[in-house]
Structure 1
Amino acid sequence: MKTTLCNALRPLMLGALLISSFARADVTPLDRVVAIVDNDVVMQSQLDQRLREVRQTIQKRGAPLPPEHVLTQQVLERLIIEDIQLQIGERSGIRITDEELNQAMGTIAQRNHMTLDQFQAALTRDGLSYDDAREQVRREMVISRVRQRRVAERVQVSEQEVQNFLASDLGKIQLSEEYRLANILIPVPDGASSQTLQAAGKQAQDIYQQLKQGADFNQLAISRSAGDNALEGGEIGWRKAAQLPSPFDSMISSIAVGDVTEPVRTPGGFIILKVEEKRGGSKMVRDEVHVRHILLKPSEIRSDEETQKLAQKLYDRIKSGEDFGTLAKQFSEDPGSALHGGDLNWIDPEALVPEFREVMNNTPQGQLSKPFRSPFGWHVLEVLGRRATDSSDKFREQQAAQVLRNRKYDEELQAWLRQIRDEAYVEIKL
């Protein structure tokens, strides 16, 4: 019987990583099948459990609950789609090892600023055992890898599409330079007298002079600013120039990192901006790594465990003196690099999946990594060199390709989910 990570826990794996409440399903002798899905079933207890979790999530957002029959239909359909993907993963030989699962649970706890013991205690307070949560995370990892194999790998972005996007107004806006800003606001009430305006302007100039003489911006923001972000040191986060009010939108590009603007009169008062950090734009010096790898993919005829063992054998053969490039040409299942002995050439680490990037960054130049797992399969890599290079144009092209790839992936995923739902045998018993 298959269940998947509920909507409340899924953000833990995809980026938000927030702890949500769960309710444990009560197993009773009255449990019954509510849907037959190919070679599996969805049980009433699974549906009841997911319904409770969804209700809790909706109520926490303060939104009204839909009619019960509508909610039940939506949740059951979600369980059916998840079950189909889990069966595809099982037939494809996708397996999550205990080591990978332990690492995932540790990451969830860490990103919630907890130890693993504290995370287990938090789950218990919310009515979910650690074993239940662990199993749900495992199943979500299976679904993620199924989607990676069936959907992400067939998404292609052409060079012409990238260049067209970079030349478009939308591309120029999305990829323009961004600024991490902080501000200090000296307020001026509506209908203020000229005397009040002069006093506020003098106060703003006094703060500006202190800043130019080296005063701490964050401390002055906390003590002098009337902005609602004053207690955060005036921090307002990342903004593009087009998102700033006039005249800041035109003047911000000429402000160096760490510098501040002169006080500017706005409808709300006098504002001083500080540029904390910049990213994007026309100049981008980035670290690059010259790396080669061997990729082995689990399949219907080779399980994940067998693939791991083969990666270990190749690692041992290379350590014993066999040529990396020769083995890559013979065994690697990365069509883009296998013919070149596994060589990925010079590559931006940020363009790689986190699992690959982390191992690559921790592998010294000229050294071989031990076999490791990424969403694509099992890898062995060797770092051939490192360098810093001005890759502004290349970086912008990579950004554009990623934007287009994400857009295509979302469209492809929805089409694929509809396809597997239509092709599956589903008999609803409610």
Structure 2
Amino acid sequence: MKIKLSECLRPLLLGALFLGTAAHAAVQPLDKVVAIVDNDVIMQSQLDQRVKEVQQTIAKRGQDVPPASVLDQQVLERLIVENLQLQIGERSGIRITDEELNQAIGTIAQRNNMTVDQFRQALAHDGLSYEDAREQVRREMIISRVRQRRVAERIQVTDQEVKNFLKSPMGAMQQSDEYRLANILIPTPDRASSEDIQAAGKKAVDIYNQLQQGADFAKLAIAYSSSDNALEGGDMGWRKAAQLPPPFDEELSRMNAGDVTKPVRIPTGFIILKVNEKRGGNTVVTDEVHVRHILVKPSEIRTEDDTKKLIDKIYDRVKSGEDFATLAKTYSEDPGSALNGGDLDWINPQSLVPEFREVMANTPQGVLSKPFQTQYGWHVLEVLGRRAVDNTAKASEQQAMNTLRNRKYDEELQNWLRQIRDEAYVEIKLPGADSQESANQAAQ
């Protein structure tokens, strides 16, 4: 049986209130609980801080900021779902180390063409705390790992599914246009009645009519959408038409940037899509190198110095005219290539360790490299050829795999988020909001 924290917190809050009254003549503002979420709470200060961040993000995009009452509801719902995922992460033992967090902050700063110090200053300029930003990044990293464990790991895509997809009309479309989309989702409850469906459909049509009259899509998404990306103006990023369920897959091929679809009924409600940008597909060409090498490794009976002397002798013997393949079969300790005379065949340089890749890039075709060291030991290599390969087919297969995984992931994620939200005990104390409890709490 889940504990209602409201009962536990009430004596503490009352005690704090009485102590505050005794110590101060004037009434002091206190932080307060705006939602109880299973065995945790969301405070007014957390809600206010997140609303402030969202307002600044919306303003930076040059969009009108919705009324605080609208944002409060949307942001609180986002915080509730985040909190549930964080509690799952806590129970699962997921932790983010300081090193991982520092690396993530550094990556964020780099993507914004800033140093970490400049990132700090930018946050301060916007009135945001660096410590709060770190905490939010930590939360997002935990949530990402929770989703990987609970959602992504359950998704499987078979080779046959990839082949079937590539043979389908949508597979052909995969190599054509790509769209940057935004969405507005008007949900219907599980086991929705005809009245529920009719009400949601009417609301979706009303939003669509506003869009046709020039209303701002992002603003309406922030105000009304129940999608996980609502506070980002419904932005879904770049998607292939094939990643979307029918009838959007075919409809998008006839749309231009700025166009909006009519509301369409889907299992979770009614959805409207907007095409923000459109771009064409590209041929994928990669460089490959035909290379062979000889590898010798230090061991318990061969010191580092002895290993270096051995590779130097092998190098001298090849330079003096001995057969490279014969020496590779005799001395090389690379089990994958030794029996083939050290031949690695045609290989993508990106699949090799940096030291090997660098020497290979700087060695002319038909020339033996000088001995060099990698994490595996000491090498000499010879470049036998270079070519540019059209890997569009392989890239298409990988794209198809990603498309199918993304399609399954998006559907599974929304179902999972709805499930954990429905199964949780949630009591909303935000003024003007209805208190909510999940059905399985009725006996409490």
TM-score computed with the length of structure 2 as normaliser: 0.45
Give the structure with higher Rg (CA). 2
TM-score computed with the length of structure 1 as normaliser: 0.46
